[in-house]
Amino acid sequence: MLAGNGRSRDADELIALIRTSSDVTEDAIVRVETEALAANVAFQRGDYAEAAELAAAAMTPVLRATNWQDYAAAWLVRIRSLQRAGELQTAAREVAAFGAWAEAGANARQRMYATLMQADQARAERDTAKALQCYVDAMTSAERLGIPEDVVVVGE
């Protein structure tokens, strides 16, 4: 919330407090989710290299097993950061890996997010027709699933 309101320095301070006051072993999931949060803050700040690194650090088996949505969100931040940093080949590999993960999970929401990432990648590669079709497909899936958060994320 702080970063979203332009107070990224305050958000960074709270993230630092969590890092220093949490136990590496007992608070492992909190620390991983903090890295995902830090990645999002760095992304909002426009520090795409840092955001990509922090998101990769958050994408642990512990997070994947505990909360696939936070895992996917970290992956999305990583992919979008790579795209905005101009690392399109690396982003394309991540989009393909995300798609494979989504297909293996047999979860309609994961597949919807994979389609959204394909749309973002096509846009980054300046393939407007493919990007628009993938955005339409992602929005159709989001509306069919009926989860407001997903409709908002795709709409953004």
Query: For the segment 42-89, what is each residue's pLDDT rounded down to a tens digit?
Result: 998 899 999 999 999 999 998 888 889 999 999 999 999 999 999 999
pLDDT for the residue numbered 93: 98
Contacts of 48 by beta carbon, 8 Å cutoff, 6+ apart: 42, 81, 82, 84, 85
- Give the pLDDT score at 138: 97
Q: Would you state the pLDDT for residue 12?
A: 75
**What is the C-alpha separation between 92 and 96, in angstroms, rounded?**
6
Task: Give residue 87's pLDDT.
Answer: 97
Number of residues assigned to the chain: 156
The span from the CA of 64 to the CA of 75, in Å, is: 11
What pLDDT is recorded for position 105? Answer: 82
Please report, in angstroms and rounded to a whole number, the separation of the first and last CA atoms in the chain.
17
Q: Is the pLDDT of residue 96 over 80?
A: yes
Contact 134, 119 (CB under 8 A): yes
Query: What span, in angstroms and rounded, lies between the C-alpha atoms of 137 and 6?
Result: 32
Query: Would residue 39 be called left, alpha or beta, if left means φ above 0 and alpha means ψ between -120 and 50 degrees?
Result: alpha
* pTM across the whole model: 0.87
Nearest Cα residue to 120 out of 107, 110, 134, 106 = 134
Q: Can you tell me the mean pLDDT for 102-118? A: 93
pLDDT at 126 over 80: yes
